[in-house]
Amino acid sequence: MKRTAFYLILLLSLSCVTSCMQPVQHDDQFYNVNDEFSVVRIPLVNPIEVNRLNSSSPWDIELHPGIWVDFPESHGLYYLYGHVHEPEKLAVINGVIMAYSSYVDKEADAYIRDNFYYWFVIVPETEITKGFHTEDEFREYIQTLDIEDPDWQTPDEAFEQFRKTGCLEWIPECK
């Protein structure tokens, strides 16, 4: 009986120690868990992050720079992709951010709705942002960046890992 009690106390103590650990602190403050904002953000590559207004709203990735799409024969009318709304999966490899979302802006013009981008690539270092209609187009492009098969995560999975540990595989001090 004493031995069982000892192991139970030891197990509870270890659980408390591991759950009470502080997340890793990074040299670049952008990558730190900040109690004020950690509920609503996941750092990707500085300055790009996944964020949401509150814990029940959808995730969102702001595009830097945005993607302007010219309507055919529009004479100067453009549609701006300023965000990847409701990303379902994301990956970061060698400073390249990739995301997929099935979201379609129902308020957009019929041409845009019919030709909406679902796959996105963002390279903050060179200020490249590209959108793709199909996975094949997306995969062809990422191969030009020497990326074959992204290790996808949902934003919720990445958020839980970041919140608990302060680390994600793409954050510099976490490799």
- 65 in a domain, yes or no? yes
Tell me the pLDDT of the chain (175 aa) as tens digits: 555 544 444 444 444 444 445 566 767 677 777 655 555 889 999 999 999 988 889 999 999 899 998 878 766 778 899 999 999 999 999 999 999 999 999 998 888 888 899 999 999 999 999 999 999 999 999 999 999 999 999 999 999 999 888 899 999 888 7
Domain count, the chain: 1
| CA-to-CA dists, residue 125 to 64, 131, 148, 150, 161, angstroms | 10, 17, 20, 19, 25
- 11 in a domain, yes or no? no
Long-range CB contacts (within 8 A, 24+) of 43-46:
43/162, 43/168, 43/171, 44/90, 44/92, 44/97, 44/122, 44/170, 45/92, 45/95, 45/97, 45/122, 45/124, 45/125, 45/170, 46/124
Q: By residue range, what is the domain housing residue 102?
A: 23-174
- 150 in a domain, yes or no? yes
- 125 in a domain, yes or no? yes
At 6 the pLDDT is 44
Burial class (CB in 10 A: 0-12, 13-18, 19+), 117: buried
- 80 in a domain, yes or no? yes
At 163 the pLDDT is 85
- 9 in a domain, yes or no? no
- Which two three-digit tokens encode residue 136? 């094949």
- 13 in a domain, yes or no? no
At 10 the pLDDT is 43
- 16 in a domain, yes or no? no
Q: Is the bond preceding 65 in cis, omega lying within 30 degrees of 0?
A: yes
